[in-house]
Amino acid sequence: MKRLTKLTTALLAGALFAFPAMSAELRIGLQDDADVLDPAQSRTFVGRIVYTALCDKLVDVSPDLKIVPQLATEWNWSADAKELTMKIRDGVKFHDGTALDAAAVVATIERNINLPESRRKSELASVAKVEATGPLEVKFTLKAPDVTLLAQLSDRAGMIVSPAAAKELGANFGSKPVCAGPFKFVERVQQDRIVLEKFADYWDKDKIFIDKVTYLPIPDTTVRLANLRSGDLDFMERLAPTDVAAVKSDANLGFDSVVNIGYMALYANIGNGPRADNPFGKDKRLRQAFSLAIDRDALNQIVYEGTAVGGSQPFPPNSPWFNKALPVPARDVEKAKALIKEAGFDRVPIEMQIPNNPVAQQMMQIVQSMVAEAGFDVSLKSTEFATLLDEQTRGNYQLSRSDWSGRVDPDGNIHQFITCKGGINDTKYCNPEVDKLLNEARASTDDAVRKQKYDAASAILNDELPVIYLGHQSWIWAYKKSVTGFVPSPDGMIRLQGVKKG
């Protein structure tokens, strides 16, 4: 009997002590599986979501898209915008316990530039030299003025990794990433889960209220939502617009959305190989007519249930970089018909390449019937994504639909697509005047001057239309009501600072 009492007491005491120690676990449903978890090599959007918990960056982006301190506490541009000096936060530790200092920053940036497998080379192409000018001070010397560097450092190019781990694992760093974010890597099972746990020595640990985060790739949106409703998930990204009403009517679920920084667009083949040799690629009036024949607001209402916004520039209408002098055009079929006639045509046949997902197909079928009224006979060629990218790069297309997830700095949404030598200029549009404006916009530290350059460039592009912008989707998140403190951001990231569950 005595033993029994003792046992009961012990059990009770155990239960009491165990209770406060119960850990808060957050299970987040992602649309895809992340690729390799090495900031130097990774490419996927969902990978970036995982990094917001795993790897801190030199600078971060605020919800209003301003660059704010993270591992760097302050920074200065030289007057000619060719030197960037950064002060590194004191007392920051990597997950392996080693200290994060200027030398670690230099090692990471050099790794991003020199590792043969690195995907960060073009992002850091303007960097001529990076050096430690003090134990906690780093100086970037640039080949040419490039103010967009700061925005690059707010993403994977600026994620500082432990030099010891990077040296030990080399190109295999992704098998056991060691960074300085609020959560450290525990395990990963391909296509199943990525598990992180709270890092006790995080420099900003007072803002972290979650003990363990598990990211689960669930590609099907219906199944992802079903998991959230059944309680297997606490949080999910990219809710389908068609499911917004269901989530709103569910008392147990919360939801947030914000117009994203990317865009949906049609790329016209202007000069990429022999297939550019067609009226649509040659005559801008036909492209103008095509753009005018589209009712962008209707697309938003029908396909995106009103969660997206129509657009006609690389930046959404709510962005500070949007050129207000060129508002999103309203549909004007008569004017479109007149332009087609002026170009010497009655009906214009066009082959349009589109991705084979249901939403894009639905949207482009609507566009097909809209432009048919003006005089375009569009045949839709639906291909899966890998093929679409390949055809678009090689120029085997006439008009191609593809989207851009967006970059914080306006340069990232326009320069590489439009400039003559741009890395992903698949339309092969080339206009020295536009090149000059976009290059100058890169070189100024004054936002007002930059805005002026982008406005001037968008006036030309809006007339020549190598890229016909259609609109901007929203990021939509859904979560259990017990999850609080989430701040939605137009970059689509899930920042866990301040997020609580309970």
Partner 1 sequence: MPVYIGKRLLVAIPTLLIISVFVFSLQKLLPGDPILAMAGEERDPAVIEFLRDKYRLNDPVVVQYFYWLGGVLTGDFGISLRTNQPVLELILQKLPVTIQLAVMAMFFAMLIGIPIGILAAVKKNTAIDYIANIVALSGLSIPNFWLGIMLILLISVQLGWLPASGYESIFVDPVRSLQTMIMPAFVLGNALAATLMRHTRSAMVGVLSADYIRTARAKGLSPREVVLSHSFRNALLPVVTLSALLFGELLAGAVLTEQIFTIPGFGKLIVDAVFNRDYAVVQGVVLCTAVGFILMNLIADVLYVLLNPRLRATL
Which stretches of the chain bind partner 1, using CB under 8 A?
Answer: 33, 35-36, 41, 43-44, 116-119, 121-122, 171-172, 174-175, 189-192, 216-220, 222-223, 226-227, 229-232, 383-387, 389-391, 393, 404-405, 423-424
* CB closer to partner 1, 116 vs 502: 116
Long-range contacts made by residues 252-256, C-beta under 8 angstroms, separation at least 24?
252/480, 252/481, 253/228, 253/229, 253/478, 253/479, 253/480, 253/481, 254/478, 254/479, 254/480, 254/481, 254/483, 255/476, 255/477, 255/478, 255/479, 256/476, 256/477, 256/486, 256/488
Q: What share of residues in the chain are helix, strand, coil (percent, to 5)?
A: 35, 25, 40
Phi/psi at 111 (nearest 5 deg)?
-65, -45
* CB closer to partner 1, 273 vs 306: 273
* CB closer to partner 1, 118 vs 323: 118
Residue 190 Cβ vs partner 1, minimum distance, rounded to whole Å? 6
Residue 35 Cβ vs partner 1, minimum distance, rounded to whole Å? 6
Residue 244 Cβ vs partner 1, minimum distance, rounded to whole Å? 17
Residue 438 Cβ vs partner 1, minimum distance, rounded to whole Å? 19
* CB closer to partner 1, 11 vs 226: 226
- Residues paired with 183 in a beta bridge: 198
**What whole-number distance in Å separates Cα of residue 140 and Cα of residue 144?**
12
Residue 496 Cβ vs partner 1, minimum distance, rounded to whole Å? 21
Residue 389 Cβ vs partner 1, minimum distance, rounded to whole Å? 5
Of 392, 433, 376, which is closest to residue 265 (Cα–Cα)?
A: 392
Q: Do residues 336 and 290 make contact, with C-beta atoms less than 8 angstroms apart?
A: yes
* CB closer to partner 1, 225 vs 370: 225
3-class secondary structure, 209: coil
- Measured in Å, how far apart are the chain's first and last C-alpha atoms? 39
And the tokens for 236? 């999910």
3-class secondary structure, 188: strand
* CB closer to partner 1, 41 vs 497: 41
Q: Do residues 381 and 352 make contact, with C-beta atoms less than 8 angstroms apart?
A: yes
* CB closer to partner 1, 204 vs 390: 390
Identity of residue 161: V
* CB closer to partner 1, 222 vs 379: 222
Residue 33 Cβ vs partner 1, minimum distance, rounded to whole Å? 7
Q: Name residues whose C-beta falls within 8 Å of residue 61's C-beta, 6 or more positions apart in sequence.
A: 67, 68, 151, 154, 408, 489, 491
Residue 121 Cβ vs partner 1, minimum distance, rounded to whole Å? 6
**What whole-number distance in Å separates Cα of residue 153 and Cα of residue 75?**
12
- Residues paired with 189 in a beta bridge: 193
Residue 482 Cβ vs partner 1, minimum distance, rounded to whole Å? 16
* CB closer to partner 1, 97 vs 231: 231
